[in-house]
A and B are shown apart, each in its own frame.
Chain A
Amino acid sequence: MIAIEAVSKTFETEKRRRLPALCDISLAVAAGEFVSILGPSGCGKSTLLYIVGGFVAPSAGAVTVNGQRVTGPSPDRGPVFQEFALFPWKTVLGNVMYGLQRQGVARQQALARARELIAMVHLAGYENLYPKELSGGMKQRVAIARTLAYRPSILLMDEPFGALDAHTRTRLQNDLLDIWERDRKTVLFVTHSVEEAVFLSDRVVTMTRAPGRLKQIIAIDLPRPRSRAALLLDRRFQDYVVGIERLMDSADSGAPA
């Protein structure tokens, strides 16, 4: 389980100006829980994810995972970055296998696992292409497969479906839910889509404008396994979406903090 305890982050800019990005965030995420973070652009969602990942140190407060204080990255917490960050000198297959090989998994095994994941993100047949030959959405899917490959128990996903067309997006949302139902990974999921957040999550966390504070946490009490078609007709789903959209609007029109 992840415990974010009173985390704040202030960046020092080049001209020694102090830029507060996150303000006193406390949040506990249970093992196997799916939590989405919603908030206006620039409110610090990515920064929060980086702090949980151990890539960025908080200015105040701490993050613990299963009681252990986070001081750096670990293969147990797999990030999927907004910018994909694929290795351009590796093919699709090479990228997905990379983490496994670094961890000493035998080549044959790594290959089999990579092929399985590539098929899962619907990229079978593209194994030997280089990242520069892929579209934005394809890169994003490779990035997801690359992280899933080394089996982190916590997934830190930063708008992983942001660059996808609506159709692929829906498909991958379903695939992600399937994986999650199967392995019960803990997921911290940043998105701009309220529908996506409600569809996927156990809880939706909303944040205020920068410097980001927690605004409200909404538990999504919808039955699982979820089916998109059924939910779209479900009055409760619609209420959640509309309610959260209203909440977000009020965040945007509020006075700057």
Chain B
Amino acid sequence: MTRPVSALAAVIAAAGLLAAWELAAWLAGIDGFPPASRALAQIPRILTDGEALLDIAASVQRMAVGFVLGVAAAVPIGLTMGRSRHVAAFFNPLLMMIYPVPKAALMPIIMLWLGVGDASKTLVIFLGVTLPVIYHSYQGSRAVEQKMLWSAAAMGMGGLSRLVRIVLPAALPEILVGCRTGLVLALITMVTSEMIARQAGLGNILFNALDMAQYDTVYAMIVIVGVLGFVLDAAFERLRARLVAWAAPSHAIIAGTT
């Protein structure tokens, strides 16, 4: 029975947030802070506007490409780091240096190389995704039980084969934790990259509206981004639960708690 309960909790939380927003906006009474009712009223208009939809679709597409490429690059690096001290020693200082840099802050530099188009934005998203995925793949790979690898070696499997067929699945639960963080970061870098390189996309609508003092639209866009993040995260969580069902501890044993 966990699903209806948590769904109900989510609805209550959302309703509470909207009510607080509405009330605060009425009390504040400033232009830059429209009440929820006015902002939400803009959402149907945005979502039926063909051009806006194309912008949003383009953003989501860039985000998907950046995410997939990021994961594809990060997982092999993380897994190899976890199995080889030398590889780890090579990448670790590099990653520690990149880690505290806000990826979107690199946007102006990247734009010098790649222009204001898709390539720059996708690269920034890619950078945002890779770090958490590398980190979690690394941790997952390090934790793979030695005897499992030995069992595979005794079956005649070589190093590369073990990395792909043993380390990868064994570390998958941890890798997916990294991917979940990566997905959220992809969304964040997507929006910020479009804030800096205004040209097209969801961020473009948001920040243009801000420039033109259309605050209802600004807040409506923020809500759309929030809902998008929520939906993506929930979808990913369902996928994750399916992929690593073998790893989850079996609950649902005590009657009445499920």
Contacts and interface: CB of A to CB of B under 8 A. Distances in A.
A88 to B, nearest CB: 6
Interface stretch (A29-37, A95-103, A171-179): A95-103
A152 B156 CA distance: 11
Nearest to B154: A73
A89 B246 contact: yes
Most chain A C-beta atoms within 10 Å of own C-beta, residue among B147, B152, B166, B250: B147
A53 B172 CA distance: 28
A92 to B, nearest CB: 12
Contacts of B254: none
B155 A83 contact: no
Contacts of A78: 154
Most chain B C-beta atoms within 10 Å of own C-beta, residue among A103, A132, A150: A132
B97 to A, nearest CB: 27
Contacts of A83: 145, 147
Contacts of A103: 155-156
A17 to B, nearest CB: 20
A153 to B, nearest CB: 13
Interface string B129-163: 00000000000000001011011111111000100
B148 to A, nearest CB: 5
A74 B249 contact: no
B247 interface: yes
A2 B13 CA distance: 69
Nearest to B169: A89
What interface size band does chain A fall in? Answer: 20 to 34
A75 interface: yes
Most chain A C-beta atoms within 10 Å of own C-beta, residue among B156, B157, B170, B172: B156
A89 B170 contact: yes
Contact of B150 (A79, A86, A152): A79
A11 interface: no
B170 A75 contact: no
22 contacts: A53-B150, A73-B153, A74-B154, A75-B154, A75-B155, A75-B156, A79-B154, A81-B147, A81-B150, A83-B145, A85-B147, A85-B151, A88-B247, A89-B170, A89-B172, A89-B244, A89-B247, A102-B165, A132-B246, A132-B249, A132-B250, A147-B154
Interface of B: 145, 147-148, 150-157, 161, 165-166, 169-170, 172, 244, 246-247, 249-250
| The 8 A-B residue pairs with the shortest CB-CB distance in the complex, in nearest-first order | A85-B147, A99-B155, A73-B153, A81-B147, A89-B169, A130-B246, A73-B154, A85-B148
